[in-house]
Structure 1
Amino acid sequence: MSDHERSSGSGRLLTGVAWAVLLLGLWLWGREVTEGQDGTSAPATGDMAAVGRPPDVRLPPAVRPLGDAVPQRIDIPDLAVQAPVVARGLDGQGAVDPPPFDQPGVVGWYAAGAKPGAVGTALMVGHVDTETRPAVFYKISAMKPGERVRVVRDDGKVAEFTVDDVRVVARDHFDARQVYGPGKAGRAELRLITCGGTFDRASHSYTANVIVSAYLTGTAL
């Protein structure tokens, strides 16, 4: 690998993921506005590309949210993903700190927000790639409505979520309230976030984010 390629790869990891989680600050700023509405997310615009739901996909009903418990691991069976989850806070600029760059197989959970399985929207972020190989959330843009995400919690319970939406959100027209707001009030929801679109070598960043939305449909021990 040349010095230029190595530099470009490092920039891709740093700028792409840091930008993905930096936008959470906008969501925090607009959270009260979003939750004060009718409990549904705003309709998609031309700036948000969704995979859509095939007409034959019947999604299960939501179940009652669980109590608070800290997530320990996330499993995505259709993608063969099993990854540890670490709590992350805010950095000096008010953005969520992503997992360390030398741990591309780790998923970060915004610990000041909702806990996965409890009422509210829990946020998890992960790298899409490194300068040499795919990272933990490399394939989440290929997920489809009806697929499952499982979160193992420290209370011994497994929160089982069903995907209901996958979107690629353009960087230039990002609407934090639309992306991070609740799908339906009173549910336990989950958002998986990583970089998406195309990689711009000039700015060493991605042009979009991938947002996978899911809601609690079951629990296991």
Structure 2
Amino acid sequence: MVTFAAWSVLVLGLWLWGRELTVPPAPATGQAGAALPGMPAAHAPLAASPPQRVDVPSIGIQAPVVPRGLDKDGAIEPPPYESPGTVGWWGQGTQPGAAGTALMVGHVDTRSKPAVFYGLSSARQGEKVRVVRADGSVAEFTIEDVRVYERADFDAHKAYGPRVRGRAELRLVTCGGTYDKVAKQYTANVVVSAYLTGVGARPAGTVA
């Protein structure tokens, strides 16, 4: 059976990141950040618009997105366990496609089955992440890397902070590593980092 996902490391890291890095970087002039060799150039940031759905076609993710705030302890609320197929977006932070780093979180599993981000660690550099936004646009991000951050040396700035000043960036985050039955939490976080490389319109007849 798949173990129940624990969020203490993840939400603490997001909370620390949010407290210290809430101001997005100033937009750059000209090209919005240099691309890695073999990767597409960054697209200029878009006007702000809330996300409605996130798709990662290469690993079969297609999920609704809901805004999440802070809980009573000051940590980012994960998506409801009753909705394991839903992705949470930090609604007090950057909107995907706008300049800065937008954060999305999802469960890796429930007590009985895989959840929305179960396959996230199998994503690869160069694959696409598409975010359908409330204004009808589709922000297309290209995955830059996939990293596993161990709890023992977790650095919220490194995991969630912007990579290139002025770019529109996206982080998809879930639990990773192994499940510690004593501590009742996972030992690491999986963080997919992507940046905006294109924009399109929602196909006619589709819904969020």
Report the TM range for the smaller structure's normalisation.
Answer: 0.7 to 0.9
* Equivalences for residues 26-45 of structure 1 within 5 A: 26-31=16-21
What is the rounded CA distance, in whole Å, between the counterparts of 1:74 and 1:31 in structure 2?
Answer: 24
Structure-2 residue corresponding to 1:25: 15
Structure-2 residue corresponding to 1:213: 193
What's the RMSD between the two structures over aligned residues? 2.1
Q: Where in structure 1 are there 5+ consecutive unaligned residues?
A: 37-54
Structure-1 residue corresponding to 2:42: 62
TM-score of the aligned structures, taking structure 1 as reference length: 0.82
Contact 2:63–2:116 at 8 Å: present in 1 too?
yes
Does residue 1:144 correspond to 2:124, yes or no? Answer: yes
Structure-1 residue corresponding to 2:151: 171
Does residue 1:124 correspond to 2:104, yes or no? Answer: yes
Give the letter for the 1:188 counterpart.
A
Moved over 4 A (4+): 32-36
Structure-2 residue corresponding to 1:160: 140
Contact 1:114–1:122 at 8 Å: present in 2 too?
yes
For residues 42-61 of structure 1, give each alpha carbon's deviation from its aligned partner in whole angstroms, at most 9, with x where no partner exists.
Answer: xxxxxxxxxxxxx9x72100
* Equivalences for residues 103-118 of structure 1 within 5 A: 103-118=83-98
What is the rounded CA distance, in whole Å, between the counterparts of 2:76 and 2:125 in structure 1?
Answer: 27
The verdict on how the C-alpha distance between 1:120 and 1:35 changes in structure 2, with shifts beyond 3 A counting, is closer
What is the rounded CA distance, in whole Å, between the counterparts of 1:83 and 1:200 in structure 2?
Answer: 28
Contact 1:30–1:176 at 8 Å: present in 2 too?
no
Contact 1:21–1:125 at 8 Å: present in 2 too?
no
Give the letter for the 2:60 counterpart.
A
What is the rounded CA distance, in whole Å, between the counterparts of 2:25 and 2:149 in structure 1?
Answer: 21
Q: Where in structure 2 are there 5+ consecutive unaligned residues?
A: 27-35, 202-208
Aligned residue pairs total 192
C-alpha displacement at 1:68, in angstroms? 0.6
The verdict on how the C-alpha distance between 1:151 and 1:174 changes in structure 2, with shifts beyond 3 A counting, is same
* Equivalences for residues 178-197 of structure 1 within 5 A: 178-197=158-177
Residue from 84, 88, 100 that aligns with 2:64: 84
For residues 71-109 of structure 1, give each alpha carbon's deviation from its aligned partner in whole angstroms, at most 9, with x where no partner exists.
Answer: 000001001111000000111111111111111100000
Contact 1:34–1:181 at 8 Å: present in 2 too?
no
Contact 2:148–2:177 at 8 Å: present in 1 too?
yes
C-alpha displacement at 1:19, in angstroms? 3.1
C-alpha displacement at 1:172, in angstroms? 1.2
Contact 2:24–2:99 at 8 Å: present in 1 too?
no
C-alpha displacement at 1:125, in angstroms? 0.2
Q: Percent identity?
A: 55
The verdict on how the C-alpha distance between 1:33 and 1:108 changes in structure 2, with shifts beyond 3 A counting, is closer
Contact 1:91–1:97 at 8 Å: present in 2 too?
yes
For residues 5-60 of structure 1, give each alpha carbon's deviation from its aligned partner in whole angstroms, at most 9, with x where no partner exists.
Answer: 8xx94xx33xx234312221111233279969xxxxxxxxxxxxxxxxxx9x7210
What is the rounded CA distance, in whole Å, between the counterparts of 2:22 and 2:79 in structure 1?
Answer: 27
Structure-2 residue corresponding to 1:202: 182
